[in-house]
Amino acid sequence: MRVRVGIVLEILLAMLAIVLVAGGIVVYVAFPHRGEPVPHARWLGDALRKVVDVFPSSLESRERQRG
């Protein structure tokens, strides 16, 4: 049984992308979403903080609606 290199490479790249997205979500939930800085990666914390500002939580939106 022969396995084509292209298919294996596509699967590996897809798995790498999935792991990177999952890692980004974990870092987002663990630090900037709670208002804490990301240790040892200030640039990542700044980028994720911008995302937090663009997409406010549902609690913040409810407080804004109440006035």
pTM above 0.85, yes or no: no
Structural domain count, the chain: 1
Of the two residues 35 and 19, the one the predictor is more confident about is 19
Q: What is the span of the domain harbouring residue 66?
A: 25-67
Is residue 14 very low, low, confident or very high in pLDDT (cuts 50, 70, 90)? very high
Q: What is the pLDDT of residues 20-54, one digit of tens each?
A: 999 988 887 887 767 778 788 888 878 877 877 77
Residue 1 lies in a domain: no
Is a pLDDT exceeding 90 seen at residue 9?
A: yes
Q: In this structure, is residue 57 part of a structural domain? A: yes
HEC letters along the chain: CCCCHHHHHHHHHHHHHHHHHHHHHHHHHHCHHHCCCCCCCHHHHHHHHHHHHHCCCHHHHHHHHHC
CB hemisphere CA count around 23 (13 angstroms): 8
Residue 13 in domain: no
